[in-house]
Chain A
Amino acid sequence: GQQVMQIPQYQHVQEGEDFTTYCNSSTTLSNIQWYKQRPGGHPVFLIQLVKSGEVKKQKRLTFQFGEAKKNSSLHITATQTTDVGTYFCAALTSGTYKYIFGTGTRLKVLA
């Protein structure tokens, strides 16, 4: 079945450093979404990417969809302690209605 892997699994950064998580699918995607889950909380929607090569920005967050629509990345510039949490990508394959969540990347920011 479809697999959605994220790397790295964990990342510890000093506050102010940049952070990137990568999401890779074994199949071509219709679209991809990104979510953030704070410790003890539930996933919160961040963004959706649909077009090949699409790049979207939200303040310090930059999201990119690969040209082949099989991978995506989330980059955070100058991390802050409020960025702590687990970042999940969720992938939708053409012809299906359900999103498959990636394995997640847990980010810790050291002050």
Chain B
Amino acid sequence: GAVVSQHPSRVICKSGTSVKIECRSLDFQATTMFWYRQFPKQSLMLMATSNEGSKATYEQGVEKDKFLINHASLTLSTLTVTSAHPEDSSFYICSARPIYEQYFGPGTRLTVT
């Protein structure tokens, strides 16, 4: 099946700093990628849809200026958490859909101290 990678897998940062998370589709092109957030023992909450070459579409309640998404190529989308705070600590997962099923990256666990 299709492979989606994410980097880094874990990151610890200090409050007020920014963190960039990369999501890559390794063996297919993805014009659309999705970014999710998952709190412990909870479901996946869609944050935004990343569109190659255009602006991301954010879900209601997600701050665009805080979670910057860039989809510069057909295989790479990045999520930057700006001015991170402890409440931003979470598991961030990206996914891409080559046909109909979603393939998820392994996720990035962000801890903000």
Which chain A residues have a beta carbon within 8 Å of chain B's beta carbons?
A: 1, 31, 33, 35, 41-45, 48, 88, 90, 97-104, 106
Contacts and interface: CB of A to CB of B under 8 A. Distances in A.
B44 A48 contact: no
Nearest to A103: B43
Contacts, number: 44
B43 A104 contact: yes
B44 A101 contact: yes
B46 interface: yes
Interface residues of B, number: 22
Given A42-B105, A45-B101, A98 B46 contact: yes
17 contacts: A31-B100, A35-B102, A42-B93, A42-B104, A42-B107, A43-B95, A43-B104, A48-B100, A48-B101, A98-B34, A98-B46, A99-B46, A101-B36, A101-B46, A102-B43, A104-B42, A106-B41
Contacts of B100: 31, 48
A88 B45 CA distance: 12
Contacts of B104: 42-44
A45 B90 CA distance: 22
B106 interface: yes
A13 to B, nearest CB: 19
Contact of A88 (B44, B46, B101, B105): B44
A100 to B, nearest CB: 7
Contacts of A88: 43-44
Contact of A43 (B1, B32, B41, B44): B44
Contacts of A104: 42-43
Nearest to A1: B60
Contacts of B60: 1
B52 to A, nearest CB: 14
B34, B41, B43, B107, most chain A CB atoms within 10 A: B43
